[in-house]
Amino acid sequence: MLEKQKIYENIGEKDIKKILHTLQSTTLLYKNNQSIAYSIGNRNIIGIIEEGNANLIRFDFDGKRTIIEEMSKDDIFSDMFLSTDSSELSVVATTNCKVTFIEYNELIKECTTNNKIAPILLNNLIQVMSRKLIKRNERIELLTRRSIRDKLLHYFELEGKKANSKTFNLNYSYTDLADYLSVDRSAMMRELKNLKDDKLIQDINKKITILY
């Protein structure tokens, strides 16, 4: 399994502080369910989640909510990664969060001034972005499955691979999982029951076991 790439990989504590200072970073705290507003007027701001979890979500005009991406410690988000006219997208804290904001343009500038740390941070940024691309790809692959059954089975397979075991714990609530798979919750529950009846999976209290 691919290791989770970290934005501060290979940079010592002191150097992290130094470069964050050089880049004139800001660190802010957010409470659970709070919307993480950023890039107000600015451009190319990168938010680094230092502590806690947050989701990138979309609210439909009819109030329907869709989780686009879930993020945790060492994950990043940025207006750079979002379409300019996607105003209905927002980052929402799902636990209390600590977020550091840096300006990408400053980081690039530092790379041309013999700063030794900046290129490492830039490389790490690319690694984290690669990982993000992979995650979004996985999501796309999930969503292209044509039935709820296929989506569930594929999701379980992915989780199984991640856990490197046929048994793993669901860290989503069923409500959230339905959102993630973009299907009706009750229809998903019905299909989940079918999968259990067909002895393809076991589900003991959110602990899933793949039986095939």
Partner DNA sequence: AAAATAGTGTTGCAATTGCAACAATTTTAC
Partner DNA sequence: GTAAAATTGTTGCAATTGCAACACTATTTT
The residue from 12, 24, 33, 108 that contacts a copy of itself (CB under 8 A) is 108
Binding mask 79-98 for a copy of itself (x = CB under 8 A): -xxxxxxx------------
The residue from 29, 37, 133, 163 that contacts a copy of itself (CB under 8 A) is 133
User: Which residues between 18 and 47 bind a copy of itself (CB under 8 A)?
Assistant: none
Q: What are the start-end ranges of the E strands in 85-185?
A: 89-93, 97-103, 167-169
For tokens 């995650």, the residue is 135
- Beta strand 65-71 with 54-59: parallel, antiparallel or unpaired? antiparallel
| C-alpha 38, offset from chain centre | 17
* Residue 118 touching DNA (CB under 7 A): no
Residue 193 region by backbone torsions, left for phi larger than 0, else alpha for psi between -120 and 50, else beta: alpha
The residue from 16, 28, 129, 170 that contacts a copy of itself (CB under 8 A) is 129
Burial bucket for residue 71 (CB in 10 Å: 0-12, 13-18, 19+): buried
* Residue 175 touching DNA (CB under 7 A): yes
Number of residues lying near DNA (CB under 7 A): 20
Q: Which stretch binds a copy of itself (CB under 8 A): 6-14, 28-36, 178-186, 195-203?
A: 178-186
CA distance 155 to 89: 24
The residue from 88, 141, 157, 184 that contacts DNA (CB under 7 A) is 184
User: Which residues between 138 and 157 bind DNA (CB under 7 A)?
Assistant: 146-149
Q: Which stretch binds a copy of itself (CB under 8 A): 8-16, 18-26, 105-113, 200-208?
A: 105-113
Nearest to 95 by CA among 171, 206, 9: 171
* Residue 143 touching a copy of itself (CB under 8 A): yes
Tokens of 34: 């709070």
Binding residues for DNA, rule: CB under 7 A, are 32, 146-149, 173-176, 183-191, 193, 206
